[in-house]
Structure 1
Amino acid sequence: MKNLFIKLPFFLVLTLFLACGNKTETNPQESAPVADVEVTEAQFKNASMQLAGLTEAVFPDWVEASGMIDVPPENRAVITPYLGGYVRDNPLLIGDAVKKGQPLITLENPEFVSLQQQFQELGEQLEYLKSEYERQQTLAAENITSKKNFLKAESEYKRSLATYNGLQKQLQLLNISTTQAMQGNYSSLARIYAPINGTIARTFVSKGSYVSPADPLMEIVDIEHIHLELKVFEKDMLKVKKDQAIAFKIPESSPDYYDGTVHLIGNSLDIEGRTVTVHGHIDNERGTPHFAVGMFIEARINTGETEALALPETAVVNLGESYYALQLQEQKDGSYRFDRVEIKPGKTQNGMTEILNAAELPKDAQYLSKGAFELIQE
């Protein structure tokens, strides 16, 4: 019993100490707004201050996307030779404008002469082979000659005709005149012409270099019609529909936004990035700045609208990492008393800012909508 009486006071003291410690940790006044701004009626009027309450406003819903300025595949051409050769002439520079059918590069190769020579020789032989084939056909029909002779004449004529047509096609691809070749006017030069209108985007060869068949020589891009190639994440792809509005900007060049429209939505998911490609058209394309193909863009695709409680944009003031508004607490004796309350802003549209924590605020409260920035900053 003696030990029990000794320990009991110590236990009571310890309990009281812990209770006091817990009480000091929770201060109900910490979360309450502090009345820290008071304005006289004269100041309120002279500064043209205004009050506003929480009101319903419409805000757009959007999907974030990124991508680049691009052109359709038919507006881009990579120039390659059908046969190899040395670059004899390459006068164009990056940025030069070209028209469809304009000479771009001249190649030189002795093999071009050999092709023309073979073509001429076969062309001259064809007349004889054709007449011999027709003669043997007539004789075979009258049983004057053997079928073997007829088949031989037919085979030689058709084989030579096929070779002649093949050589003619090669010379046409090289843009070498077959008419001049038949007259014995051979050329060791082959010119390559622009297949589309556009500007030179890249060049890969220089004068005197040798290029093999299918080696890229240059790239032409027609920027008459540019478009947006956007990447949308998998989680957002079902929200995107054709004809939805796009707002995009070139973050490295300007903060200004430009308008576009969703035109096509890909149906294949990029497994690595978990994104789908969205093709967008630019509104008022001719009225926009000179965009360059390959420019990085940031975009918002408008997927709908949401109604939310909001305050005028001028009522919400940013202080460091937090946002505040001045809530009217009392108006009497020719003065206005405001409390500074923390605000969690959402989207801003048409001068109104969405208030995400509106449910925590009094519905009928009034806020300083004009002049709040100066008073909070003081």
Structure 2
Amino acid sequence: MKYLFIICSALFMLSCKKEAVIDQTLKPASPITQNELVLTKEQLKSIELSTVKMEKKQVSGTLQLNGKVDVDPDSKVSISSALGGHVKSVRVLPGKSVKKGDVIVIIEDNQFIEIQQDYLTTQAQLLSAAPNYNRQKELNISKSTSDKLMQQAETEYKSLLAVKNGLEEKLRLLNINPSKLSAGKIQRSISIVAPFSGIVSHVNVNKGKYVAPSDELVELINPQGLILKIKVFEKDLPKIAIGQNVTVFTNGNEDTKFNAKIVTKGNSILEDGSTEVIAKVVNLNSELVNGLYINALIDLENIDAFTLPEDAVVSFEGKNYVFEQIASGKFRMTEVQTGTTNGGWVSIQNHSSLINKSIVGKGAYALLMALKNKTEE
């Protein structure tokens, strides 16, 4: 047991000594600036390091973006009543699917009765006004009656006809069929029906509430009008084209994919450097609802780009960097904006200042650790 303790102690001391040597190896010999460091020949020997230059390659890949489900304005309808009245019944709830013609809200008011009465009264008056007008026309042709009497009959007939036609249109707005209206079938309530098959998104009334013609009773969404508002940053906007295919999935179900197609590109950049791209959903699914956040994958075609090997790009605190060799043993860290990654190569967006420069490939991560140690001292 004594010998086992001695062996474990020796191994522990050897491990600590090795870590101290490695830590000393990674410490820069001469701190210069926050993004530069110089290593001695001995330190360089301890790091397996190689340099490369940017290469122009054709790259393809996938651009992952975020967005939100919305509805085409033409497919979002605010339903109201043609005339004011009191809500007698509400037949729907938010999220409910309805078919075209389904009753949504029932409203009642005395003016509905008055309109029906006026229509039936006008229709009855026309039964005598029309024959009188025709008779006066025939008599006027033979000069058996004066022009004045004929004109009075014509005015009465056409005025009643105009009133009747106007009341018919009002009845149709109230979903009352004029041809089925009779003195024994006057109704005091009207039914507000769904103009198309869709989903109820908002219900803004309750039983007993008085509503005016300008009040929105219910908002109805046509699922065929679902669109995606995808957020694209300025650096990625040139990669986007109208007609590109988009694969969509939600955070809650990454295995279920939906298809969409880009229909418009944003023409203005917001303060955060982004713009909105609109995509139209191709295969509808009940999982996509208005306001839902989604992930969008856009397949990019082969494009010419300046690239570096993946191991040349290192990440630190959410940003990407490369190390340029500016002299023997002297390196400068530069921030880069990366694009798509394909076949072990990553495209560099801000490549102009790095063309023909010697960039550290293998060993870039060791330089990052060394620079990080320098800044912490």
Q: Report the alpha carbon displacement of residue 26 of structure 1 after superposing the two structures with TM.
A: 7.4
Of the three residues 310, 314, 318, the one matched with 2:315 is: 318
Partner of 1:281: 280
Letter in 2 for 1:242: I
Post-superposition offset of 1:310: 0.7
**Letter of the 1:215 counterpart:** D
For residues 320 and 274 of structure 1, the distance between their equivalents in structure 2, rounded to whole angstroms, comes to 20
337, 347, 357: which one aligns with 1:346: 337
In structure 2, which of residues 341, 346, 358 is the aligned counterpart of residue 362 of structure 1?
358
In structure 1, C-alpha distance between the alignment counterparts of 2:273 and 2:145, rounded to whole Å: 75
**Matched ranges for 1:1-378 at <5 A:** 31-33=37-39, 36=43, 55-59=55-59, 68-229=68-229, 242-244=242-244, 260-265=260-265, 278-282=277-281, 285-286=283-284, 290-295=287-292, 305-312=303-310, 314=311, 316-320=313-317, 342=333, 344-347=335-338, 348-350=340-342, 351-354=344-347, 356=351, 358-359=354-355, 361-362=357-358, 367=362
DSSP 3-state at the match of 2:362: strand
Pick closer, same or farther for the CA change 1:232–1:353 going to 2, 3 Å: closer
Using the TM superposition, give the Cα deviation of residue 321 of structure 1 relative to its aligned residue in structure 2, in angstroms: 7.0
Q: Secondary structure at the match of 1:86?
A: strand
Q: Judging changes above 3 Å, is the alpha-carbon distance between structure 1 residues 140 and 224 closer, same or farther for their aligned structure 2 residues?
A: same
What is the aligned residue count?
329
How far did 1:134 drift? 0.6
Q: Deviations over 1:142-163 (max 9, x none)?
A: 1001110000011101101111
- TM-score between both structures, scaled by the size of structure 2: 0.67
Structure 2 distance, partners of 1:84, 1:76, is 22
- Provide the rounded CA distance (Å) in 2 between the counterparts of 1:215 and 1:77: 13
Give 5+ residue unaligned stretches, structure 1.
1-23, 45-49, 329-337
Shift of the 237–152 alpha-carbon distance from structure 1 to 2, 3 Å rule, reads farther
Rounded Cα–Cα distance in structure 1 between residues aligned with 2:133 and 2:324:
105
Distance change (3 Å), C-alpha of 1:125 and 1:321? closer
- Distance (Å, rounded) in 1 between the aligned partners of 2:73 and 2:347: 42
AA paired with 1:264?
A: T
Provide the rounded CA distance (Å) in 2 between the counterparts of 1:322 and 1:274.
Answer: 17
Deviations 1:279-331 (A, max 9, x none): 4334x5447x833323467879879834213112x554434577678999xxx
Q: 1:339 & 1:133 partners in 2: Cα distance?
A: 108
Which has the larger displacement, 209-218 or 293-302?
Answer: 293-302
- 8 Å CA contact 2:242–2:264 kept in 1: the answer is yes
TM-score for the superposition, normalised by structure 1: 0.67
Q: Is the 8 A contact 1:240 1:303 kept in 2?
A: no
Cα deviations by residue, 1:147-197 (Å, 9 ceiling, x for unpaired)? 100000111011011111111111111112324432431110100110121
Change (3 A) 1:249 1:310: farther
SS in 2 for 1:137: helix
- Aligned counterparts of 1:183 and 1:124: Cα–Cα separation in 2: 11
Indicate the RMSD between aligned Cα atoms, in angstroms: 5.1
Q: Is the 8 A contact 1:119 1:167 kept in 2?
A: yes
C-alpha distance in 2, partners of 1:154/1:216?
Answer: 43
Distance 1:319 1:237 in 2: 25
Cα gap change, 1:270/1:317 in structure 2, threshold over 3 Å: closer, same or farther?
A: closer
Residue pair 1:86, 1:108 contacting (<8 A) in 2 also: yes
Shift of 1:266: 7.2
Alignment identity in percent?
26
Q: Distance in 1 between matches of 2:334 and 2:68?
A: 36
Task: Give the Cα–Cα distance (whole angstroms) in 1 for the partners of residues 306 and 78 of structure 2.
Answer: 52
- Letter matched to residue 305 of structure 1: I
Distance apart, 1:31 and its partner CA: 3.6
For structure 2, the residue ranges without an aligned partner over 5 or more in a row are 1-29
- How far apart are 1:222 and its partner, in Å? 1.4
Post-superposition CA distance 1:84-128 (Å, at most 9, x none)? 110001021100001111111100001111111111111111111
Q: What is the distance in 1 between the residues matched to 2:32 and 2:138? A: 118
Q: Identify if the C-alpha distance between structure 1 residues 340 and 321 changes in structure 2 by more than 3 Å, giving closer, same or farther.
A: farther
3-state SS in 1 of match to 2:38 = coil
